[in-house]
Copies of this chain bind each other. A is one copy, B any other.
Amino acid sequence: MTTANRRIVLAARPHGEPNPSHFRLEETRMPVAREGEVLLANRYLSLDPYMRGRMSAAKSYAEPVAIGETMVGATVAEVVASHHPDYRVGETVVGFGGWQDFAISDGRGLRRLDPAAAPVTTALGVLGMPGMTAYTGLLNIGRPKAGETVVVAAAAGPVGSLVGQIAKRKGARAVGIAGGPEKCAYLVDTLGFDAAIDHRAEDFPDTLAAACPSGIDVYFENVGGAVFDAVLPLLNNFARVPVCGLVSGYSATELPPGPDRVPVLMRAVLSKRLHLQGFIVWDFAAQEPEFLSEVGGWLRDGLIVHREDIVDGLENAPEAFAGLLKGRNFGKLIVRIG
């Protein structure tokens, strides 16, 4: 048995876009589980846009990762040693093992997986944090009604693709925004979106307007920037905007040039009676059982489709993460470890 633990630590805080130089692969000694703890061998690491925020010193809803500290992240892991009454060796769990081969857990935040019920990687995507983000944000804040138009950006990603599919299940029209013709075709042909718009196209705002002839009732915001600019004039009275992420601005080093358009946004909020609300998935933690039951059922019954983009090797996580922020992945980005 190996006695080393490879881990990826934050080497430097990026100013602008992160690249592999901001990370460092280290070998440390294998951690040891004490009483009340389990030793986890991470099998799959989830890479998600929120990690960009943890690389910055600015406090957001969570503390930043310290320089030299292991990068945080959700993992699917195997229990390889247990001094915890609830977990046995050989069980598969999902938790927050971080960017490393092995992790210690006292059981908090762990959830046992049944590999027979669904592929274990789904616990990082469609049946994990991204799926629950889509489910809780759309249903609690977006509240789409039959016949309404729901627009989501990064629509081929794990959050956006579920937002669109849930919108369809609620009888709404789903319009996805994604980067490039391949992802757009996937949205319509495979996921059943009513329309898909390539935000890289020159005439993106006009194409979006044409795809939303009755305006937009729900805009699930996970991108910001130019996409939000194109959406704002199309929002209908009483539109709901769950604000889940702003990935286009995560690596911005300065504000966009003027004029200051805050008054434009606020006037739209007032005159259209918009409802903008930020959220993070754990605000709705109490809804996890309902989410797992409902979306798990849809998945088993083949009513929803999901897609994974799996990268091999912990050492490739930094490069894959940098690509994630540029939209290079196609589906839920996961690193296979070991």
- Among B60, B61, B246, the residue within 8 A (CB) of A263 is B246
Q: Which of chain B's residues have a CB closer than 8 A to the CB of A278?
A: 269-275
Copies in the complex: 2
Asked whether A260 is an interface residue with its Cβ less than 8 Å from the other chain, the reply is yes
Smallest CB separation, A315 vs chain B (Å):
31
Asked whether A265 is an interface residue with its Cβ less than 8 Å from the other chain, the reply is yes
- Among B60, B61, B262, B280, the residue within 8 A (CB) of A262 is B262
> Could you tell me which residues of chain A, from 214 to 272, have a CB within 8 Å of some CB in chain B?
221, 224-225, 228, 237, 243-246, 249, 252, 254-267, 269-272
**In the complex, are the beta carbons of B279 and A276 less than 8 A apart?**
no
**In the complex, are the beta carbons of B263 and A224 less than 8 A apart?**
yes
Residues A277 and B280 in contact in the complex (CB < 8 Å), given A249-B267, A266-B243, A270-B246: no
Complexed CA–CA distance, A31 and B336 (Å): 82
Tally of chain A residues near chain B (CB < 8 A): 40
**In the complex, are the beta carbons of B273 and A264 less than 8 A apart?**
no
Smallest CB separation, A235 vs chain B (Å):
11
**In the complex, are the beta carbons of B252 and A263 less than 8 A apart?**
yes
Residues A228 and B266 in contact in the complex (CB < 8 Å), given A258-B258, A259-B255: yes
**In the complex, are the beta carbons of A60 and B271 less than 8 A apart?**
yes
Asked whether A283 is an interface residue with its Cβ less than 8 Å from the other chain, the reply is yes
Considering the complex, give the chain B residue whose CB is closest to the CB of A272: B278
- Among B257, B259, B262, the residue within 8 A (CB) of A265 is B262
Residue-wise, chain A 281-307 has the 8 Å CB interface mask toward B (1 for contact) of: 001000000000000000000000000
Considering the complex, give the chain B residue whose CB is closest to the CB of A257: B258
Considering the complex, give the chain B residue whose CB is closest to the CB of A280: B273
Considering the complex, give the chain B residue whose CB is closest to the CB of A232: B262
Complexed CA–CA distance, A261 and B249 (Å): 12
Residues A255 and B261 in contact in the complex (CB < 8 Å), given A61-B271, A61-B273, A274-B277: yes
Q: Which of chain B's residues have a CB closer than 8 A to the CB of A257?
A: 258-260
Q: Which of chain B's residues have a CB closer than 8 A to the CB of A279?
A: 273
Complexed CA–CA distance, A266 and B255 (Å): 12
Complexed CA–CA distance, A277 and B262 (Å): 15
- Among B61, B225, B237, B259, the residue within 8 A (CB) of A256 is B259
Considering the complex, give the chain B residue whose CB is closest to the CB of A254: B259
Q: Which of A237, A243, A249, A279 has the most CB of B within 10 A?
A: A243
**In the complex, are the beta carbons of A275 and B277 less than 8 A apart?**
yes
Complexed CA–CA distance, A274 and B256 (Å): 22
Smallest CB separation, A159 vs chain B (Å):
14
Smallest CB separation, A299 vs chain B (Å):
28
Q: Name the 4 nearest CB pairs between A and B, nearest first.
A: A258-B258, A255-B259, A270-B278, A256-B260
Listed A/B pairs (22) with beta-carbon separation below 8 Å: A61-B273, A224-B266, A225-B263, A228-B266, A249-B267, A252-B263, A254-B259, A255-B264, A256-B259, A256-B260, A256-B263, A257-B258, A257-B260, A258-B258, A259-B260, A262-B262, A273-B277, A274-B276, A274-B278, A275-B276, A276-B277, A277-B277
